[in-house]
Amino acid sequence: MREITIPIRDETIRSLKVGEPVALTGVMVTGRDTVHKWLIETFIKKARHPQGDDLKVYEALKPLLKGGILYHCGPVVSGLDTRQYKFVAAGPTTSIREEPYQADVMKHFDLKGVIGKGGMGPKTLKGCQEVPFVYFHAIGGAATYIAQSVTKVLSVYKLDFGVPEAMWVIEVKELPVVVTMDAHGGSLHQVVEDQSSKVLAELLAK
């Protein structure tokens, strides 16, 4: 398994290929549906004016996200009352919901990887080649196992979005993932879909 430290350089991203197992170490940020919509509308398309602490959060996020990783994760977190936060479960969220936003968010912040499950579509795959970045597939159904890779919760932003939708800044050690969309146009998800469609067509033709 290849070990990679965050932040990640472009040449490292371009050296990764579909099917390659990776262990990620460093600081990453979680973000799901509400975060992507907020980032797009407020800072990329600028369809709404920043409100409350939006600008402060944006400035804090920029250095964290540059060369970094965005994890599609709605964690279960203990210590909410005392602010002694600890990830109890940290499983990946289905990523395709972020397809309309992902490439634009990655380009805007110069992110180098996104983690989720289920893969993403053609817009994101094109963005992988342009930014560049890769899609890392995490193990679905292994939320407590993945949480063991989270060594520390450094901070949290937009907690008003709710615990699962907030942006948690976490330190991880050897978080296990697999590259399933690379910066060369490779997509394991598309390969599986094409092969499955072919098998289904053959079965229906019998």
Residues 16-44 pLDDT 10s: 999 999 999 999 999 999 999 999 999 99
Q: Stretch 166-195: mean pLDDT, rounded?
A: 90
pLDDT at 200 over 60: no
Distance CA 206, CA 203 (A): 5
Distance CA 94, CA 91 (A): 10
CB within 8 A of 94, min separation 6: which ones? 72, 116, 117, 118
| Residue where the block lists tokens 């602490």 | 53
pLDDT at 160 over 80: yes
Domains and CATH numbers, the chain: 2-205 (3.20.130.10)
Q: What is the mean pLDDT of the chain?
A: 94
Per-residue model confidence (pLDDT) at position 140 = 87
Per-residue model confidence (pLDDT) at position 198 = 66
Quick: pLDDT tens for 46-72.
999 999 999 999 999 999 999 999 999
- Which tokens go with 167? 């942006």
Q: How many residues does the chain have?
A: 206
- In one-letter notation, the amino acid at residue 204 is L
pLDDT at 154 over 70: yes
pLDDT at 110 over 70: yes
Distance CA 90, CA 74 (A): 7
Distance CA 178, CA 133 (A): 14
